[in-house]
A and B are shown apart, each in its own frame.
Chain A
Amino acid sequence: MKAKNKKNKMSFQKFKRYIPLYIMMLPGFIYLLINNYMPMAGLTLAFKKVNYQIGLFKSPWSGLDNFKYLFLTNDAFIFFRNTILYNLAFILLGNIVGILVAISLDTIRNKFFKRFSQIVILIPYLLSTVIISYIVFAFLSGNNGFINKSILPIFGIEPISWYNQAKYWPVIITIVYLWMTFGYSSILYYSTLIGIDKSYYEAATVDGAGTWAQIRHITLPSLKPTIITLVLLAIGRICYSDFGLFYQVPMNSGLLYSTTQTIDTYIYRGLLELNDIGRSTAGGFLQSILGFTCVLTANYVVSKIDKESSLF
């Protein structure tokens, strides 16, 4: 007993000098507990019949009722389909455009134009989705929009009420997404491109390699690690969507749900607009679990391909 006490005391002496460090970490620790770990525990709400009157903790368990209720209608299919298809389109087109723009930034020799382009293409990425939705509105507004008033009449097409017709939105959302993010992805790719040793290109030119051969055999292979990282990070987030892009940009228009409802807008609407807590918790539960699975899978795949680029 005595010996044990002594040992404890010694390790406590050693431990004591770290106390200030633990105190430093305390605010962040508490924040992670509240902001991240408590909601994780809150996922159990998906198996409860939430009743605010009796409180979250005392609400009765309801087994899989919320999930049955979620899959009762076609909604779940629609929002899962939308979320995943949009993300696939974003991954494919976003990276192609990003690479293309990075190469064209790299091609420009005029210093001023190059610098100016780098500054300007990041502006859309800097702005909030609220501002973006104003810009989209200026183009698409039914009565006064630029497209309806200035573009369509040139071709003799009748005005289209964009905010009421779901079929146009897959294209609109994709264009808006690309507009918002191409600066970001091209800057990422460009920062890899400027690291390529110029002597490769010189040697290739001496050997008579054309532009296309240079891109195919030098540029693209050196971008490969960046491409893999970005694609896999995006696949890890394939069950998530930008709430603003799908909620605010279509102006929360109910007529557009078939092509703009994603998992995030569904959960939000269910919880705060329709008071349909059961379905929201069930949808959120699936999103968290699937999201976690996707992150782990993506990371596993990347660690197989290229150990260096994996996250853990």
Chain B
Amino acid sequence: MIYNNKVFRFVMGLIMFLLVMACILPFILLIASSFTSEVALTKYGYSFIPTEFSLSAYEYIWSVKDNIIRAYGMSFFVTGVGTLASVTMTLLFAYPLSRHDLPGRRVLSFFLFFTMLFNGGFVPTYMVYSRIFHLTDKVWALIIPYLLMNAFFVIMVRTYINSNIPTEVIEAAMIDGSREFNTLFHIIIPMSKPIIGTISLMTAIGYWNNWTNGVYFIQTRRELYGIQNYLNSVLSNIAFLQTHSNPNIRITELPSISIRMAIAVIALLPILFAYPFFQKTFVKGITIGSVKG
């Protein structure tokens, strides 16, 4: 903070400026290219300034909008249901663990903690979900595997309850005859709002950005794809844009070079617009994770 050396301060400011540019410019490249005509792109490639302004990529995307709207709908559904279920399960698991008088508390804590140290890895997990529970091509495959409960978040919530809610408050409620579920809903949850906000945001971002579950478990029912999986398929196979709708447009007419960028922009904008509103909580979620639970 003090560093008074002018040269040093200038160099540091310059580094920061360059890094900020490095974080912004790639998005400008995407956006500018998506507004450039196909002809100009073939000639000059993706560039930061649209050499020849054109909306053809967006016009084309408008013609297959049903696909994109459905993919967005799936993403919102999976994120909403997943986050709600996940946060509920996390709270339900964390509150009893925070109770020092709970018989078997140490065993249950270890049961939870051990999952952070050791795991079976991809193959057995895949086998459990696809061969034993038959989740392949079901919407639950996007919600349940890997993402539904994170041991780390449970520990974060438990620690928060232990260090911010005095045992006396819980005991007083019990003496007044409050049942455990009442205590959880009327005392613990209202008093844990900050941590609930943080883990909800982190969980929601996790669901929104997840595409691996779709790759692993959605094999034929592509209509279940969320926006990430949809994008993923378009990047490797531009013709994917057309599947499920508009079979009349021929693949040769696709402005494929600009479309790739336009579709990335469409997937990108909502989260970029929302980001400033949750930025503070996001930073809190990141830094809280570094502090031992």
- Residues in chain A within 8 A of chain B (CB atoms): 15, 18, 20-22, 24-25, 27-29, 31-32, 34-43, 45, 52, 56, 100-101, 103-109, 113, 116-124, 126-131, 133-135, 137-139, 141, 143-146, 148-150, 179, 182-184, 187-188, 191, 193, 196, 198, 201-202, 204-205, 210-211, 214-215, 226, 229-230, 243-244, 248, 251-252, 264, 267-268, 271-272, 277, 280-281, 284-285, 287-288, 291-292, 295-296, 309, 311-312
Q: Tell me the total A-B contact number using a CB cutoff of 8 A.
A: 293
Interface of A is mostly: helix
Q: Are A104 and B15 in contact (CB under 8 A)?
A: yes
List residues 1-30 of chain B with CB under 8 A from any CB of chain A: 1-5, 8-9, 12-13, 15-16, 19-20, 22-24, 26-27, 29-30
Cα(A42)–Cα(B208), bound, Å: 29
Choose, from B40-48, B58-66, B246-254, the stretch at the interface: B40-48
- Chain B: number of interface residues, binned into ranges: 35 or more
- With A25-B92, A107-B3 as contacts: A271 and B123 at CB distance below 8 Å: yes
- With A126-B275, A198-B1, A309-B292 as contacts: A144 and B41 at CB distance below 8 Å: yes
In the assembled complex, B180 has its CB within 8 A of some CB on chain A = yes
Cα(A21)–Cα(B93), bound, Å: 9
- With A27-B89, A138-B33 as contacts: A127 and B180 at CB distance below 8 Å: no
- With A126-B275, A179-B22 as contacts: A34 and B133 at CB distance below 8 Å: yes
- With A56-B131, A271-B122 as contacts: A21 and B22 at CB distance below 8 Å: no
Q: Are A205 and B4 in contact (CB under 8 A)?
A: yes
- With A35-B125, A138-B33 as contacts: A21 and B279 at CB distance below 8 Å: no
Q: Are A40 and B232 in contact (CB under 8 A)?
A: no
Q: Are B264 and A131 in contact (CB under 8 A)?
A: yes
Interface of B is mostly: helix
Question: C-beta contact mask, B211-229 vs A, less than 8 Å → 1, else 0?
Answer: 1100010000000000011
Q: List 11 A-B contacts (CB under 8 A).
A: A28-B90, A28-B154, A32-B151, A39-B121, A121-B23, A138-B46, A201-B3, A252-B236, A264-B122, A288-B118, A295-B118
Choose, from B105-113, B159-167, B190-198, the stretch at the interface: B105-113
**Which residues of A are found within 8 Å of B96, using beta-carbon distances?**
21-22, 24-25
Q: Are A35 and B146 in contact (CB under 8 A)?
A: yes
Q: Are A182 and B235 in contact (CB under 8 A)?
A: no
In the assembled complex, B257 has its CB within 8 A of some CB on chain A = yes
**Which residues of B are found within 8 Å of A130, using beta-carbon distances?**
211, 228-229, 231-232, 235, 267
- With A20-B181, A28-B154, A137-B260 as contacts: A40 and B47 at CB distance below 8 Å: no
- With A28-B93, A104-B13 as contacts: A43 and B124 at CB distance below 8 Å: yes
Q: Are A150 and B145 in contact (CB under 8 A)?
A: no
Cα(A121)–Cα(B22), bound, Å: 9
Contact partner of B30 (CB less than 8 A), chosen from A129, A134, A264, A295, is A134
Q: Are A288 and B286 in contact (CB under 8 A)?
A: no
Cα(A137)–Cα(B125), bound, Å: 31
- With A104-B13, A144-B42, A284-B121 as contacts: A126 and B20 at CB distance below 8 Å: no
A270 → B minimal CB distance (Å): 8
**Which residues of B are found within 8 Å of A191, using beta-carbon distances?**
287, 290
- With A134-B261, A149-B45, A288-B118 as contacts: A106 and B1 at CB distance below 8 Å: yes
Contact partner of B212 (CB less than 8 A), chosen from A120, A138, A243, is A243
Cα(A193)–Cα(B290), bound, Å: 14
Which among B24, B30, B46, B283 has the highest number of chain A CB atoms within 10 Å? Answer: B46
Cα(A20)–Cα(B120), bound, Å: 31
Which among B8, B45, B103, B154 has the highest number of chain A CB atoms within 10 Å? Answer: B45
Contacts A116-B20, A130-B267, A248-B232 supplied; 11 other A-B pairs, CB < 8 Å: A20-B181, A24-B95, A24-B181, A28-B112, A32-B112, A39-B121, A40-B120, A56-B127, A130-B211, A137-B260, A264-B122
**Which residues of B are found within 8 Å of A184, using beta-carbon distances?**
286
Cα(A134)–Cα(B261), bound, Å: 7
Q: Are B13 and A107 in contact (CB under 8 A)?
A: yes
Q: Are B120 and A41 in contact (CB under 8 A)?
A: yes
Q: Are A182 and B19 in contact (CB under 8 A)?
A: yes
**Which residues of A are found within 8 Å of B184, using beta-carbon distances?**
24
